[in-house]
Structures are given as C-alpha cells and as structure tokens.
Structure 1
C-alpha cells in the first residue's frame, strides 16, 4: 500500500506540473501534504515533517549552492570562462577541436550550474562552428556531455552536494570518486558517442541551430579577460581544496596517524562550505579587484547570481520536504524491509529508483532527493561506501531526459532539432552518461 500511495503521489505531481502548469515548488508541497495524509501520518506531525525536510535540505545546501552560484557568475562576468574556452581551442587546434570543447566545458562545468554553462558556452560553440565550418552538433554533444557529467557527479553542484548531506557521505570522497568516474564517462558520452549519433541521425548534423532566444551575448576582447592560468585556478579552487583535504584524510586513516591540530585545520579548510567561502574571496580578488573592477560591480554580479537561483533553491527544498514525508510516513522503512532479503546492492538499488523517478518526474534533483527518502533506511544495515551510493543516485537521476525535462527542450531549440533527432541525441546522450556512470561506480566499488 505505501508504494501505491507514493506512485499516486508521483502521478499527481506530474499532473499538477505538466497538466495544470503549476509551479514545481508549489506542486511538491501540495503532494507532500497529500501523501502524508494518505500514509496516515498524525495531523500534528505533518507540518513539522515538511518543515524539517525543507529546512534540513536547504540548511546543508544553501551556503554551498549560493556561494557556488556567485563564484560561477564572477568568472563568467569577468570573461574568465571565455578565456578558458578560447585558449584551449587555440592550443588543441582544429584537428582536436572536440577535445578542446570537452576540456573547456568540463572546467567551466565545475564552476557553473548546467543551465548557466549551457547558455554561456553555446554562443562560443556556434562561433567556432562557423569559423571552422563544422557542424554545431559535432561540438554541441561533447559540450553537453561534459556539462551534464559535472552536474550529476561533482560537488558543488546541487544534486551530489545535497545527496551527500542526506546520506551522510564525505563530500570530499564524493568529489574524488566523482572525478574518477566522470573522466571516462565524458569521453564515452562526448567524442565517442558523436560518431554513433552521426550514423543514427545524419541529418541532425546539418542543422544550423538558433540562439536568438539567448539575446545579445556579453563578449570580450581576449586581452580584456583574465589570464588563462588564473581563470582555471579560480574555477578549480574549491575542487583543489576539497580534494587535498580528502587525500590527506585518506592517508591519515590508511597510515593510522594520530589526529592533531594540523589535520583539524586541513579538514576545516577542505570542508565544502569553508572551501566555497575561500573560493569566493579569491574570485572577488582575481576576477574583480585585481582587474580594477569596482567592488559595487562585483557585488552586483553576486546579487544577480543569487536572484537567479532563488526558485531553484525552493524547488530543492520542496524535494527535501517530499523526501522527509516518505521517511516519516514509513515508506523508506517499508522499502528497506521489502529488500531486506535481497542480494541487490544498495548502489544498484539507488540507481534503479532514481532512474525510474527521473523518467517520471523530469527533474534530476527532485528524483535524487525522492530516492534518498526511500534508500536512507537501507543504508544503516549495509557497509556500502556512501560516496558511491551518492554517485549512483546521481547517475540514475540523469537517465533518459525527455519531454518533461527543461534540458530536453533547451537542447532541441538551440540546435534546431526535430523531436526524433532530440531523442536520438540528447535523450540517448543522458542515458549513456547514466549507464556508463553506473558501470564505473560498480567497478570502483570493487576496490574502495
């Protein structure tokens, strides 16, 4: 019965969002109340459960997410992202242009959220396409693959960051293992998949695309942008801090070194929130003050970044509320009991649940959060590596993007594709990332 109630709740969510065009956050809250009532939760605990879910999710995520948005915006507004792209394209040369786009998109994708990275990089891809007389899709697929992989696997992106918090996983480990998985996945879903897509839908590689909806793009003379080295360093700084702290902590555990104040300082600096604060301070200097940009202009970029993510934060909070209702209503415990006798790995189970919810709901972040509500009760009885469960949830939440996902329509319109061509390129691309990611996660689980 609990699973039937959840299924009805998910169908109701789809009807509210797609049928009645209701705001996603409002829909999530309405469904959370409805599911809580249907599960028979005491009336005096429903509101507190929803508040706890919303507050607990945003309490962990808001600082990292907000600071990450500001960091990305400063790099973009200063021309740092453009400098990274153009420099790599020049260095790789025309012959290896796809790999240049992959590396540039991967670096920029770490600092910028998926939609922002897409809007920023597409005009650059279009310009290069015209200059080199190559198909925009030939460059667009590797770009989208790199952005999607960083979005699904690497903190400080919202999905992996919030799920790490929900599962109690070490965010540094998620980042480190995420990198190991992300690199081969991007290669498969980017340059290699492009060859397959060209055979499946050859006509799609003749499209000219349309980015008129993006309006006039802010472009820079290359000499007016920050240097390549400082741009990459600023974009990668939070990753560097978190990775160093994780590696040192792993060495400490492996070598059984006694804890001391030096290790405490390393853990403090490598904490995701501390790393993001330090990274933002660095960006304010390198992308702003060091280039004689007034502090008022720098802070205006930060304000715009926060304004742009306000609704997304609420949607993530709404997903957290739905997740908490599933836990407090006993659904998570029911699923844990259902699978208590199964030999199915929690890694595979998290991927399957996230994949089903992603196909049904469209939103990768909401699918991942709902998965957490069903998987968390199972983790207490397993010695599985929590960082890998986080990554498996992220991989599952990327699969088969279709008509209920905004990314599907963005890709279709920007590259001027038909529905069939979008399914054969974008939907298949996301599915390859999801399945390849799971494969590498399972391989990694054999050694960590």
Structure 2
C-alpha cells in the first residue's frame, strides 16, 4: 500500500506539472500534503514534517548554492569562461575540436549550473561550427555531455550537493570520486557515442543550430581575464574541497593527530568555506584586479541569486516530499522489502533515482525523493560508502532525459534538432551517462 501511494503521488505530480502547468514547487508541496495524509500521518504532524524537510534540505546547502551561483556568474560575466573555452579550442586544434569542446565544457561546467553552462557555451560553439563549416550538433553533444556529467556528479551542483547532505556523505570525497567517475563517462557519451549517433540519426548532424542562441553576450578576447587566472578561479573550490578530502583520507591512515595545520586545511576544505573563499577570489581576479567597479560585480551576484530563487524552492519542495516519505514510513517499508537482499545499496539508489527521473523529469527532485526511500535501508548495512551511494543517485538522476525535462527542450532548441533527432541524440546520451556512471561507481565500490 505505501508504494502504491507513492506511485499515485508521482502520477499526481506529473499531472499537476504537465497537464495543469502548475509551478513545480507548488506541485511538490501539494503532493507532499496529499501523500502525508494518504500514508496516515497524524494531521498535527504533517505540516511539521513538510517544514522540517524543506528547512533541513536548504539549511546546509543554501550557502553553497548561493556562493556557487555568484562564483559562476562572475566568471561568465567577466568573460573568464569564454577565455577558457576559446583558449582550449585553439590549443587542441581543428582535428581534435570535439575533445577541445568536451574539455572546456567540463571545466566551465564545474563552476556553472547546467542551464547556465549551455546558454554560455552554445554561442561559442555556434561561431566555431560556422567557421569550420561543421554541424553544431557535432560540437553540441560533447558540450552537453560535459555539462550533464558535472551536473549529475560534482558539487556544488544542486543534486549531488543536496543528496550528499541528506546521506551525510563527505562533499569533498564526493567531488574527488565524482571526477574519477565523470572522466570515462564523458569520453564514452561525449566522444564515442556521437560517432554512432551520426549513423543512427544522420539528419541531426546537418543542423546549423538556432540563431537566437548564437547572439548572446560576446567578448573581445583581449578584454577578458587571462587563461591561467580564469582556470584557477574556476577550479579553486575544487582544489580546496579536494585538499580537505585528502586530509580526511590520509590522516587516519598515517596516524597523524589533530594539530593547527590539519584543522586549518579541514576548515578551508569544508564546502561552505571553500565556496566563500572562492567567491572572494573571483571578486578580486574577475573584477577588482581588472578595475571593474564593485557595484557592477555585485549586480552580477544579485542577478545570479535572483535566478537561483525558484531552483532553491524546488529543491526545498523535493526535500519536503522526501521527509514525508521518511516520516510516513515509506522508507522503512522499502527497507523491510529489501532486508536480507543481496542488492548493492549503490545499485538500489541508482535504480530508484532512475525510475523517479523518468517519471518526474527533474533530476534534482528525483535525487531528493530517492534519499527519502534509500536512507532507512542504509541503516542496517555495515561499511556502506555514502559517497558512492551519492554518486549512484546522481547517475540515476541523469537517465533518459525526455519531454518532461526542461533541459531536454533547451538542448533540442539550442541545437536546432527535431523531436526524433533529440531522442536519438540527447535522450540516448543522457542514458549512457547514467549507465556508465553506475558502472564506474560500482567499480569504485569494489576497489575502495
């Protein structure tokens, strides 16, 4: 019965969003109330459960998201992201242009949210495709692969950051393991699959893209920050969080006791501290150092936060639904079903996230709802690697992007593809990211 209620809740969520065009956050809150009552929760506890879920989810990650969004916007508005992309493309050369786009998009994608990365990078590859007289889809697929992989696996992106917090995983380790998983995944999905896709949907590779996406903000290269400082600024949070994670790994192994140096490294490697320091660095390198008024820099930061508002509410709504599933006993029910099962918790988390992603469209909502079903089942499993469960959840949340996913329409329209072509390229590509991510995570689970 609890699983039937969840299934009906998911169906109702789909109807609200797709049929009645209700806002996703509003739909999540309404469904949370309905599911809570249907599960038999006392009326006096329903509101408290929803509030706890929303507040608990946003409490830890709000600072990371806010700082991350402002960092990405400063790098983009200063032309730093443009400099990184153009320089790498020049260095790789025409013959390896897809590798150049993949590499540039991966670096830029670490700092920028999925939709922002696509909007920023499409004009760049649009102009390159025109100059080299090749289809924009040939360059667009490596670009969206890198953006999707960073979105699914790497903090400070919403899904992995939020679900790492819910599972109690170390965000620094999630970042390190996520990069290890993402590298082979983007090569398979972004370089190898497009060669096959060219045979499956050849018409897609005749497309020239949408002109409307080719007229975004342009920069004169000499007016942008240098390549080295742009790259360092974009990767600075990665460096700090990786340092913190490395200290957490080697300290027990080497038997080093806590001291001032270790505490300082752990402090600056904390995700919230790392994002704050990275933003301060970006304000200097992308702005003050280049004599850009602080007011203009703060305008960029404000616009980033304004754009983030609804995303934060949607994440909070997903957290509310997650908490209702836990407090309503659904998580315990699922845990009982799989008690004694030999199924890997990594595969279980991936499977649940994949099913919810296909149904709901939003990868972020799917990851948070998955947490509500998976967390109780982890309690009885000794030595479970929470970082890998986080990555598996992220991988599952990337699967089969289709018509209920805003990212699907963004890719389709920006690359000028028909619906059939988008299914044959991006939907399959996102599934490869999900499956490859799972396989790499399972391999890591054996090794670690």
Q: TM-score range by the shorter chain?
A: over 0.9
Match of 1:332 in 2: 331
Task: Map 1:421-436; keep pairs closer than 5 Å.
Answer: 421-436=421-436
Q: Who is 1:13 aligned against?
A: 13
In structure 2, C-alpha distance between the alignment counterparts of 1:218 and 1:256, rounded to whole Å = 52
Residue 418 to residue 215, structure 1, CA distance change in 2 (3 Å): closer
Secondary structure, counterpart of 1:184 in structure 2: helix
**Is 1:293 matched with 2:292?**
yes
- What displacement does 1:282 show? 0.1
Which residue matches 1:341?
Answer: 340
Instruction: Give the distance between the partners of 1:153 and 1:306, measured in 2 at CA.
Output: 22
Distance 1:88 1:57 in 2: 37
* Structure-2 residue corresponding to 1:148: 148
Query: Counterpart of 1:217?
Result: 216
Map of 1:134 onto structure 2: 134
Deviation, 1:358, is: 0.3
Structure 2 residue runs without a partner (length 5+): none
Q: Tell me, in whole angstroms, the C-alpha distance in 2 between the residues paired with 1:136 and 1:279.
A: 33
* Number of the residue aligned with 2:225: 226
Quote the Cα distance in structure 1 between the aligned partners of 2:259 and 2:79.
Answer: 42
CA displacement at 1:245 relative to structure 2:
1.3
1:161 equivalent in structure 2: 161
Displacement of 1:215 in angstroms is: 7.8
Contact kept, 8 Å, 2:151 with 2:159, in 1: the verdict is: yes
d(CA) in 1 for partners of 2:38 and 2:245?
43
Distance of 1:429 and 1:254 partners within structure 2: 39
| Matched residue SS, 2:447 | coil
Q: C-alpha distance in 2, partners of 1:428/1:253? A: 43
**1:211 CA displacement:** 3.7
Q: How far, CA to CA, are the matches of 1:19 and 1:367 in structure 2?
A: 19
C-alpha deviations, 1:365-418, integer Å up to 9, x for none? 000000000000011111210000000000000000111001111111111211
Q: What is the 5 A alignment of 1:222-301? A: 222-301=221-300
C-alpha separation between the residues in 2 aligned to 1:322 and 1:408? Answer: 24
What secondary structure does 1:384 align onto? Answer: coil
Q: CA deviation at 1:261?
A: 2.5
Contact 2:123 2:214 in 1 (8 A): no
Structure 1 SS opposite 2:257: coil
Q: How many Å separate the matches in 1 of 2:380 and 2:355?
A: 24
- The separation in 1 between residues aligned to 2:172 and 2:378, in whole angstroms, is 19
Looking at structure 2, the residues matched to 166 and 36 of structure 1 have their Cα atoms a distance apart, in angstroms, of: 20
Where does structure 1 lack aligned partners over 5 or more consecutive residues?
A: none
For residues 123-173 of structure 1, the C-alpha deviation after alignment (integer angstroms, 9 at most, x for no partner) is 101100011111111100000000000000000001000000000000111
Q: C-alpha separation between the residues in 1 aligned to 2:214 and 2:433?
A: 30
Deviation at 1:105, TM superposition (A): 0.1
Question: Take 2:227 and 2:284, find their aligned partners in 1: how far apart are those partners?
Answer: 15
Instruction: Tell whether the 8 Å contact from 2:125 to 2:140 is kept in structure 1 after alignment.
Output: yes
SS at match of 1:218: coil
* CA drift at 1:28: 0.2
Deviation of 1:218 (Å): 1.2
Q: Deviations over 1:57-80 (max 9, x none)?
A: 011111000100000000000000
Matching residue of 1:203: 203
Moved more, 243-252 or 392-401: 243-252
1:180 and 2:180 are equivalent in the alignment: yes
Compute the TM-score of the two structures, normalised by the length of structure 2: 0.99
Contact preservation (8 Å) 2:107, 2:234: yes
Q: Distance in 1 between matches of 2:232 and 2:444?
A: 28
CA distance, structure 1, for counterparts of residue 402 and residue 328 of structure 2: 30
Other-structure match for 2:40: 40
Structure-2 separation of matches of 1:192 and 1:226: 33
Could you tell me how far 1:82 is from its partner in structure 2? 0.6
For residues 441 and 253 of structure 2, what CA distance do their matches in structure 1 show?
Answer: 22
Mapped partners of 2:170, 2:433: distance in 1? 23
**CA distance in structure 2 between the partners assigned to 1:142 and 1:381 by the alignment:** 41
Shift of 1:289: 0.2
CA gap of 1:373–1:211, structure 2 versus 1, over 3 A, is: farther
Which residue in 2 is equivalent to 1:371? 370
Question: How many residue pairs get matched?
Answer: 447
**Structure 1 residue 201, shift from structure 2 partner:** 0.5
3-state secondary structure, aligned to 1:220: coil
CA–CA separation in structure 2 for the residues paired with 1:426 and 1:211: 20
In 2, Cα distance between the equivalents of 1:216 and 1:176? 36
- State how far apart, in whole Å, the 2-side matches of 1:216 and 1:296 are: 26
Shift of the alpha carbon at 1:267? 0.9
Distance in 1 between residues matched to 2:247 and 2:29, nearest whole Å: 42
What does residue 355 of structure 1 align with? 354
Partner of 2:121: 121
SS of aligned partner of 1:446: helix
